[in-house]
Amino acid sequence: MSQIITIRQIDNGFLIESKYPEMDMDAEIHAITVDNISDDEIKNFKVNDEDKICIARLLNRINDLIGVSYDKFGKKNLNITFDKKGHKVE
């Protein structure tokens, strides 16, 4: 069964719309915003930047929607951090 995921940027984050065309159901809508960022998120993502944390929330939510779940004992989980030095893009 295929799933359609649509992402829309809004003023304070993103809206994710998830729908299975084969099913006669309304789409699920999830809001991912910069509101209510916790100290744990700042610690986990190693950054104190609302926009970057919002992007990490978005990627984690998409990960959940497509069925890639977190494995507490697994060695291959999605890990989003912002602790690496960038490089010049030409």
**Extents of the domains making up the chain:** 4-65
Q: What is the CA radius of gyration of the chain?
A: 15
Apex 49 CA angle, 37 and 88, nearest 5 = 150
- Count CB-CB contacts under 10 A for residue 31: 12
pLDDT in tens, 4-60: 889 999 888 889 998 887 887 788 888 888 777 777 777 776 677 778 888 888 888
Q: What is the pTM of this model?
A: 0.72
